[in-house]
A and B are shown apart, each in its own frame.
Chain A
């Protein structure tokens, strides 16, 4: 069974500041890990994914995440926040990357202060 814990239901940062959204996972098998973004009244859009290989993965809009097996973490970062980054962010896990579907965390609402 898989589970995802996202620390902080709301995160507020100033424009230009570092963005750090935390995600910890639990999986009985090697996980594939994903970050999705959801803007108001829209579906989920993939930001980035970790499958195998390099543990630092880069995604769209300047985001990146690092898979740390020892810490069971997959935190999302962006060096400099932009107003357009304000949205809901979801971390998700898939066992082996198969077709079973994704297990999502509860989400983190990112607020950008001008």
Chain B
């Protein structure tokens, strides 16, 4: 069974440029999560989807971050414009609503 797939794995951009990350969750997992992991820190939840609905986006900086999960399967996280402080790893996870999460390998963003 395929795991959570994320792309791109690495992205380097200049500040003020836009960037987008894509995630395809494990088949059958209705819940999808985007986490932010800063260097040397644990992951922090940005947004949680139940099917197409964003049920918890309280930690998503909505002035520059947006996300969508059309058709309740794959999801895209966008940053526009990117700032230096956005350099981090963006992790996508999905789960079968048992508490356990399955993570992708992450997308590492470097903003210059």
Contacts and interface: CB of A to CB of B under 8 A. Distances in A.
Nearest to A103: B45
B42 A43 contact: no
Interface stretch (A12-20, A44-52, A54-62, A70-78): A44-52
A96 B101 CA distance: 14
A104 B44 contact: yes
A43 B4 contact: yes
A105 to B, nearest CB: 5
B83 interface: no
B87 interface: no
Interface residues of A, number: 28
A105 B103 CA distance: 16
A42 B40 contact: no
Contacts of B98: 51, 97
Nearest to A4: B42
Contacts of A92: 42
Contacts of B8: none
Contacts of A104: 42-44
B101 A102 contact: yes
| A-B interface, 7 closest residue pairs, ranked by CB to CB distance from nearest | A97-B99, A104-B42, A43-B103, A94-B99, A32-B99, A99-B97, A44-B103
